[in-house]
Structure 1
Amino acid sequence: MVSALLALLATLGALTVTGLLIQRANKDRLLYLIAWSFTQVGLSLALLSMGVGFLAGFNGALFRLMELGAALLAPIWLALGMIELIARYVQVRFGAWLFAISYTVVAIVILLLDPLKGDLSKDLPKPGDTYDALPLLLIDGAHVVAVLALAACTGVTAWLASKQDQEAAELLIPIALVALAGVLVVSGSRGFLPAPLAVIALGGAAGLVWYGAMRTIPVFDEEGYDEYGDEYGDEPMTGYEEQGYPPARAEPVPAPTPSPDPRRGELRFPEPAPAEALRFPDSPAGPTAVDGVGAAAAAAGLGGGAVHEQAKPAGAAGLSGLAGACGQITVYTLLDGREDAFDRLATDLVKAALAVEPDTMIFACHEVVGGPTQRIFYQLFRDEAAFAAHRRQPHLQRFLAESRTHVLATNVIELRLGAAKVPLPAPEYPGR
């Protein structure tokens, strides 16, 4: 009776977190969330079968459903989601999906059709006493692959985090939680634990998978995220307008398709925005939201807009004190056919930085002439504190999460400001 009660409570909890995870996966369309949703469904079915079996007695259908859910689907798709989350090469992710789908289909057919042996009762049946050699081999194979994949993913993430990889450092705790869930799944479905402990292990695994999945997604205030320019609608952004930043607008104008250009490899801006559209409303001299960079660029003929007489000195004054400036160049290699989706995310990111990051001096997304799948971000920050504040911004975290499925490879170059041409004043060097 105790095992039945625990199983029913665990089933209720597992169904709840499964529904929440499926809802989030349907909203965000992230493949690792979809894979972990299959894990949650498998655990819920297994716990439900255990609860009914403890009350009414196990039969062939309940036993097969329990094994399919906890011993097969849960570990395989848990490992698949982990690989999808951290793998940075599309070939690795594709191979993982191919293996998981094919292995699951073959194993389901065998586990459903293979004859059972022994008598079933209200006691928790053990796979070794009920299945023949082939189903047991498939279950063991699923567990071995899952454990190795989870251990390898956790180790790689920890190693990258030790190398100051920010993305890996942020994913380390969620990945550790999901890896612990994998250990609980394997131990709870092998038949080695007593019935109450097996139920607790599977229920705990469902909770850890859900919590770990939520930790991998940037946390946003669903009702108030427009303040950060998520939708860029016409509603005012409370708080930021009070500080003088303009609200972001709806749907950017897409960049025109570039004509063939013999200057392959050169950088270009997709479409320069009018300087007037980027102007701070309260600035007397009219510098843009990057504190004078846009005005100076317009003076040089890059912005496409007229410049007031005071624009040059105001821009230079706004960019004073940049001896401690730092920057970053990020080179993205995109998957074929994902350019438009990535560009929409990049445009939203630039708009959000324009609206809420006054100490981000330059934030530009370049296309590469002759390289349609390459995008280059150039970012310049007033100082290290501004750079650190930028990395904590919710709109950046959202961009990193949503752009992952469009990117084949990423290269990051950290910069410090050296000698610079107007509008960026060069820092003083000893002995000059």
Structure 2
Amino acid sequence: MVDALLALPATLGALVATGLLISRASKDRSLYLIAWSVTMVGLSLALAAMAIGFLFGWAGPLFRVSELGAALLAPVWLALGMIELIARYVQVRFAAWLFAVSYSVVATVILLVDPLRGSFGKSLPKPGDTYDAIPLLLVDGAHVVAVVALVACAAFTAVLASKQDREAGELLIPIALLALAGVLIVSGSRGFLPAPLAILALGAAAGLVWYGATRTIPVYADEAYDGEEPATGYDDEGYDDQGYDERGRGDRGYADAPDRGYADQAYGAAAAEQAPAAAPPAAKRGDLRFPEQQVEEPRFAEPPSPSSTVDDAVAAAAAAGAGAGRTSAACGQITVYTLLDGREEAFDRLADELVQAAIAAEPDTVIFACHEVVGAPTQRIFYQLFRDEAAFAAHRGQAHLRRFMAESRTHVLATNVIEMRLGSAKLPPLPQPRPPSAHGVPDFP
């Protein structure tokens, strides 16, 4: 009865944690969260089978479910999620998925159909007294592979953290907790521990997996594009000297369109003022748009002569802005991202979400442009131009930028940031925004 009283709350806690993690994995679509969701499902099934077995007596199906969940699926998929999180080469991740899926399928079939030995009561069955040699060999193989993978991942992360790798430092504690969870899973499912300790080990492992997984997930206000600071845990120390974190950070714009010059896209002769659009158009790669251009056919000041510099253009824009008083030189940043193989689509999806939020919330950002590199499909080059230093600083503190930085980290292999201030350039004057219209978007003279 004591065993059942321990197993029931452990099962309920594991089921709640499993539901929360599955919900988050379905929302974020992160492969490592999906793998750890399988781990949590396995632990929940094992604990539920234990609770039923201790209450009403063990039987063959309950023993099989317990072994399948805790002894096979939980450790293998825990190690798979760890590799998916920290491995920086697509070949390593592909090999891990291939092994985990194939091994799980083959071992599951054998564990479900292999004959069982002995009789069952209300005490915890021991795998060595119940299974034949082949199922035991498969379980032992799963435990060895899982322990080796978890220890290797934890050691690799610790080495990177000791070399001042910021991302490894952030992930070190979660990875250590997940490695400890793997040790508890193996200990609790091999039949060496008394029933109460086995239950506590598996229940604690479920809690550690859930907690460790949440430490790797960016925490923010879920429907956040409201300009408020999210609870991401990032602060100014999370940026490098250029204002961005070292891996996978930056702003998403649009692909370059050299055949459509600036004059065709945003500048030209003054036109009749039109009513603002009901909503900004959806971001599409291959377009070149400006976050400030939120109304149909906005009117701009006449462009200066080709010999004008950026400072002249800004001064002219200030004069045309009816006392707006903005005379600071435009500044910007170029960021080169090298993506991990196979992560281009996921990175572009996050970046497209970022630019939609930037269009709505950053009227002083003049250009957001993203370029794909011909012949280098894993590279993205971002070009960003801001009205002045104040606009650049405001951009760095945006909630949607922090969200992008946190979520894109697993897709980026390396980042190179070049901060710049424009010198001589042939640019029309920067448009001066009016107060937001009734639609909540900036208007322009």
TM-score w.r.t. the length of structure 2 is 0.70
Q: State the Cα RMSD in Å.
A: 4.2
Q: Within the alignment, does 1:211 sit opposite 2:241 as a pair?
A: no
Cross-structure match for 1:348:
353
Output aligned runs, 1:251-266, within 5 Å: 251-256=281-286
Output aligned runs, 1:168-183, within 5 Å: 168-183=168-183
Cross-structure match for 1:329:
335
Output aligned runs, 1:380-399, within 5 Å: 390=396, 394-399=399-404
Per-residue displacement from partner, 1:92-118 (whole Å, max 9, x unpaired)?
A: 111111100110111111112222223
- Do the aligned partners of residues 371 and 58 (structure 1) sit closer, same or farther apart at CA in structure 2, a change above 3 Å counting? same
Output aligned runs, 1:30-179, within 5 Å: 30-179=30-179
- Do the aligned partners of residues 28 and 298 (structure 1) sit closer, same or farther apart at CA in structure 2, a change above 3 Å counting? farther
SS in 2 for 1:226: coil
Structure 2 Cα separation of the partners of residues 359 and 129 of structure 1: 72
Query: Displacement of 1:317 after TM fit?
Result: 3.7
Contact 2:161 2:172 in 1 (8 A): yes
Contact 1:252 1:347 in 2 (8 A): no
Cross-structure match for 1:303:
none
Cross-structure match for 2:441:
none
Contact 1:7 1:48 in 2 (8 A): yes
Contact 1:335 1:373 in 2 (8 A): yes
Structure 2 Cα separation of the partners of residues 397 and 180 of structure 1: 30
Cross-structure match for 1:202:
202
Q: 2:382 aligns with which of 368, 377, 380?
A: 377
Structure 2 Cα separation of the partners of residues 168 and 387 of structure 1: 27
Structure 2 Cα separation of the partners of residues 328 and 170 of structure 1: 26
Structure 2 Cα separation of the partners of residues 296 and 274 of structure 1: 19
Structure 2 Cα separation of the partners of residues 110 and 213 of structure 1: 30
Structure 2 Cα separation of the partners of residues 176 and 76 of structure 1: 17
One-letter code aligned to 1:332:
T
- Do the aligned partners of residues 16 and 374 (structure 1) sit closer, same or farther apart at CA in structure 2, a change above 3 Å counting? same
Contact 1:346 1:365 in 2 (8 A): no
Cross-structure match for 2:328:
318
Cross-structure match for 1:427:
none
Moved more, 366-375 or 75-84: 366-375
One-letter code aligned to 2:415:
V
Cross-structure match for 2:372:
367
Structure 1 Cα separation of the partners of residues 151 and 35 of structure 2: 18
Query: Displacement of 1:61 after TM fit?
Result: 1.4
Structure 1 Cα separation of the partners of residues 165 and 403 of structure 2: 17
Per-residue displacement from partner, 1:64-109 (whole Å, max 9, x unpaired)?
A: 1111110001000111111111222221111111100110111111
Structure 1 Cα separation of the partners of residues 365 and 165 of structure 2: 21
One-letter code aligned to 2:372:
E
SS in 1 for 2:225: helix
Per-residue displacement from partner, 1:340-395 (whole Å, max 9, x unpaired)?
A: x5434223324545666899998653332454553123568999xx88994x7643
Structure 1 Cα separation of the partners of residues 364 and 155 of structure 2: 36
Contact 1:218 1:397 in 2 (8 A): no
- Do the aligned partners of residues 319 and 298 (structure 1) sit closer, same or farther apart at CA in structure 2, a change above 3 Å counting? closer
Query: Displacement of 1:398 after TM fit?
Result: 3.2
Contact 2:291 2:367 in 1 (8 A): no
- Do the aligned partners of residues 125 and 351 (structure 1) sit closer, same or farther apart at CA in structure 2, a change above 3 Å counting? same
Query: Displacement of 1:417 after TM fit?
Result: 5.7
Q: 2:413 aligns with which of 386, 410, 413?
A: 410
Query: Displacement of 1:165 after TM fit?
Result: 2.8
Aligned length: 369
- Do the aligned partners of residues 133 and 368 (structure 1) sit closer, same or farther apart at CA in structure 2, a change above 3 Å counting? same
Query: Displacement of 1:192 after TM fit?
Result: 1.6
- Do the aligned partners of residues 140 and 101 (structure 1) sit closer, same or farther apart at CA in structure 2, a change above 3 Å counting? same
- Do the aligned partners of residues 317 and 203 (structure 1) sit closer, same or farther apart at CA in structure 2, a change above 3 Å counting? same
SS in 1 for 2:226: helix
Structure 1 Cα separation of the partners of residues 327 and 369 of structure 2: 21
Structure 2 Cα separation of the partners of residues 337 and 319 of structure 1: 36
SS in 2 for 1:318: coil
One-letter code aligned to 1:80:
L
Per-residue displacement from partner, 1:111-162 (whole Å, max 9, x unpaired)?
A: 1222222332211112122222211111111111111111111222222233
Gaps of 5+ in 2: 231-277, 302-308, 427-445
Structure 2 Cα separation of the partners of residues 274 and 396 of structure 1: 14
Structure 1 Cα separation of the partners of residues 325 and 282 of structure 2: 26
- Do the aligned partners of residues 274 and 226 (structure 1) sit closer, same or farther apart at CA in structure 2, a change above 3 Å counting? closer
Cross-structure match for 2:7:
7
Structure 1 Cα separation of the partners of residues 31 and 343 of structure 2: 17
Fraction of identical pairs, as percent: 62
- Do the aligned partners of residues 345 and 73 (structure 1) sit closer, same or farther apart at CA in structure 2, a change above 3 Å counting? same
Contact 1:3 1:54 in 2 (8 A): yes
Query: Displacement of 1:35 after TM fit?
Result: 1.1
